[in-house]
Amino acid sequence: MVLCDLLHNHQIIRGFFLKKAVLFILMTAVLISAILFILSCTPSGYSPAAEPEKNTAPVKYLCSANEIRLLIEGKVYTEAEKQLIALLNKEPDNVEYRKLLALLYFKTENYQAAEKSVRSVMKNQQNLFDYVNENIGFDLYYIYITSLLRQNKPHSAASYFSFVADSTGLDSKNRLKYDYIQVEYDYRSGNYENITDRITPLLQNAGVSHEQRLNLYFILSASLIKIDKPDSALDNAIFLILNDYDFKYTRKIKRLLDGIVDNSNEEMLSVMKPKIADGYRELAQRSYDNVTLNDRILRSLNSLESETVILDTKPAEGKQSYISKIKLYADKNITSVYLSSKDSISYENPPLFDGKTLTIRIPGKSIMSPENFSRSPKGSGIESVQWSSASDTLVFKINLTDNYDITIERSSGEEFEKTDLITEKYSLKINIHLPEQISAPLSDFDFNEDRYTVVLDPGHGGDDPGALSILKKNDGTRYTEKEMNLLLSKGLKKYLEDNGYRVFLTRDGDYYPSLHERNRIAQSRNADMFLSIHLNSASPKNKKFWQSDRYIGAEMIVRESLGKMPEFINFQHGNLREWKKLREKALKMHKKLSEALSVSIPAASGKPFNVKRKIKPKNLVIFSGMTITHALIEAGFIINNNNLKYLLSEKGQAEFYKGVLKGIELYRKSSF
């Protein structure tokens, strides 16, 4: 039975309405109680809000602490915050009010404010958590540790675990919360292997609420994706779909399905594809009233099903040049329209764009087709494309659903991107840049944007393995460059974070982000630096020397030319002169950083891997048009067995990480 059958026939439908009825009765009772207290301590006429907002307006009547607690339980958050702020203005050191403020912010998922409120209590009560293992003050402890974890601060949270010296002393309610904290800690710390063992007994605990149970299944599914078990992750994602009665987890489930797709090999994905597609369709139905989310879900579905519109045209009469193919491909973040020809394509610049329709005039071209109109897949950002002829000029129009960024690329014999699958020699590629699917993975979420930010790019991935080793693993397979790049990048990420840097990865699994997408990720994270991590290879002609010292050590690749304006700059907003100025500066910084790393990495490496290799010039596509500091590091030679063993060893990795950090610091101290 396919997922769509389960979604329509599963017996949870009956349970769904029963639970909704019970929930409605309980919530009504709580709200009535809250309203009665409100009437006794506040003027009439206020409007309850679902989210807290700063309100320092004078309050005529003040509630007691117990009444404010009831307001919070009744989700009357705006009034509760207004009351607490008024009370704290009178009594700024009142610990009870600050505890309630922490509870309020925690309930409204403002974890940064919740942490701050608890810290203000700790200033007045330095022994605040001394007796939590005896069930004294455990609720505030739970709020504080969970708030730290949900801001991706597992190291800070871990320093407080010692306060619960013996969790067996906790009562059943608090023991359940403590076990829940441990699960979140493992997830945020990347200890995914331990999570299954922790979650299984919790799911069997009758004291776990429905909301907690859903969150546990989400963490379990996300962790299974991280340890390359996407099929098991899908089972848990389906459970979430079937049991998310209030549709609160729609966004999270979409993220799970995206992760499952990205981390599955072709064979596995072909088996799971029907279930995943049904899952996306169900989520799309649930989000019909949220246009943005609905579009993003449909885009993921389009990408999964390779939703492509292709129109092959007939040759033009006589010797007139013509467009041989129109291809429209809708991916998660970009919808691309390709116009292909047997000879060169040029257009009148600039194209016309009124915020909804892009009009491109292509002189000397025609489209020989009975149609002059084509619709686009839902969620692609394009309503339709249409074309007509005016004199000797082709007029091609793309009608958008919203005012999206648009860029145009032109190919003259080379591929845009290996994933484009365009065989014609000359093509025009119009990119519609849709809002980013995910701002950041949970494991990458970080509130502190003031720190120096580095984006690490593990080269290759997915269907692109990169170079292969000569050295074999115990199972007889060879090491691939893509897996080594990811291994070193993950280790380097942790090392840099431990040294105070804010770090993101362009991929954290075995999938292939396009080169332009890697570039876009760096821009969207407001990165100060972009480092692409690779392993080196050599020509088969010199294979007899591969195991010699000729092919060991780190090497830097440097781009010499400016390249073209990158995909993420909107042509109607982009200022070519300003871009050129930024690009020239970035190219100078690129060379400066590469020089620093070419010295620091060998200096940190043990013999014979401390050889200083010459910087190699090569105009790599990934750096074309990049306007932030960037470098490509070939960490060593994957074809040299000794070099590969060195990079697989703890010593080799530690020395590589140390060398990269030193190079970054040398660059930052330099002036230019």
Mean pLDDT of 139-147: 92
Q: Is 160 within the bounds of a domain? A: no
CB 633 within 8 A of CB 601: yes
Task: Give the distance between the most distant pair of CA atoms in the chain.
Answer: 91
Query: In the chain, how many domains are there?
Result: 4
Q: Residue 201 phi/psi, 5° resolution? A: -65, -30
Domain final position from 126, 156, 182: 126
> Do 510 and 409 share a structural domain?
no
User: Residue 7 pLDDT > 50, yes or no?
Assistant: no
> Do 349 and 280 share a structural domain?
no
> Do 318 and 298 share a structural domain?
no
The per-residue pLDDT of the chain, averaged, comes to 80
Check residues 577 and 81 and name the one with the higher pLDDT.
81
CB 637 within 8 A of CB 643: yes
> Do 230 and 274 share a structural domain?
yes
Q: What is the pLDDT of residues 378-393, one digit of tens each?
A: 778 888 889 988 888 9
Indicate the pLDDT class of residue 331, thresholds 50, 70 and 90. Answer: confident
> Do 207 and 68 share a structural domain?
no
CA within 13 Å, CB half, 569: 19
Decide: helix, strand or coil at residue 669. helix
Indicate the pLDDT class of residue 660, thresholds 50, 70 and 90. Answer: very high
- Which residues are 529's β-sheet partners? 454, 629
Token couple for 445: 């979420």
**Backbone dihedral region for residue 539 (phi beyond 0: left; psi -120 to 50: alpha; all else: beta):** beta
- What pLDDT does 280 receive? 92
The domain spanning residue 383 has which CATH number? 2.60.40.3500
- What pLDDT does 340 receive? 85
Check residues 433 and 271 and name the one with the higher pLDDT.
271
> Do 352 and 218 share a structural domain?
no
> Do 377 and 358 share a structural domain?
yes
How distant, in Å, are the alpha carbons of 109, 149, 245, 323, 486 from that of 155? 20, 9, 35, 58, 23
Does an H or E element contain 490, and which? Answer: helix 481-498
Indicate the pLDDT class of residue 441, thresholds 50, 70 and 90. Answer: very low
Decide: helix, strand or coil at residue 435. coil
Q: Is 558 within the bounds of a domain? A: yes
Question: Could you give the CA distance from residue 192 to residue 263 in angstroms, rounded to a whole number?
Answer: 15
Which residues have CB under 8 Å from 145's CB, separation 6+? 157, 160, 181
Q: What is the pLDDT of residues 216-272, one digit of tens each?
A: 999 999 999 988 899 999 999 999 999 998 888 998 999 899 889 888 887 888 899
Indicate the pLDDT class of residue 545, thresholds 50, 70 and 90. Answer: very high
> Do 661 and 531 share a structural domain?
yes
- What pLDDT does 412 receive? 55
Token couple for 402: 């919203």
Q: Which domain holds residue 599?
A: 442-669
> Do 466 and 421 share a structural domain?
no
Q: Is 157 within the bounds of a domain? A: no
Report which DSSP code applies to 366.
B
Q: Is 147 within the bounds of a domain? A: no
- Classify burial at 95, counting beta carbons within 10 Å of its beta carbon; exposed 0-12, middle 13-18, buried 19 or more: middle
Q: What is the pLDDT of residues 12-71, one digit of tens each?
A: 443 444 444 444 555 555 455 544 444 445 443 333 333 333 444 455 568 888 999 999
Q: Is 162 within the bounds of a domain? A: no
Q: Is 155 within the bounds of a domain? A: no
Of 170, 118, 180, 174, nearest in space to 147 by CA: 118
The domain spanning residue 450 has which CATH number? 3.40.630.40
> Do 567 and 470 share a structural domain?
yes
Q: Is 242 within the bounds of a domain? A: yes
Question: Could you give the CA distance from residue 47 to residue 336 in angstroms, rounded to a whole number?
Answer: 46
User: Residue 11 pLDDT > 90, yes or no?
Assistant: no
- What pLDDT does 521 receive? 80
> Do 370 and 235 share a structural domain?
no
- Classify burial at 220, counting beta carbons within 10 Å of its beta carbon; exposed 0-12, middle 13-18, buried 19 or more: buried
Domain final position from 126, 149, 173: 126
Amino acid symbol at 492:
L
Mean pLDDT of 184-192: 86
> Do 606 and 475 share a structural domain?
yes
Domain final position from 405, 433, 461: 433
Q: Is 145 within the bounds of a domain? A: no
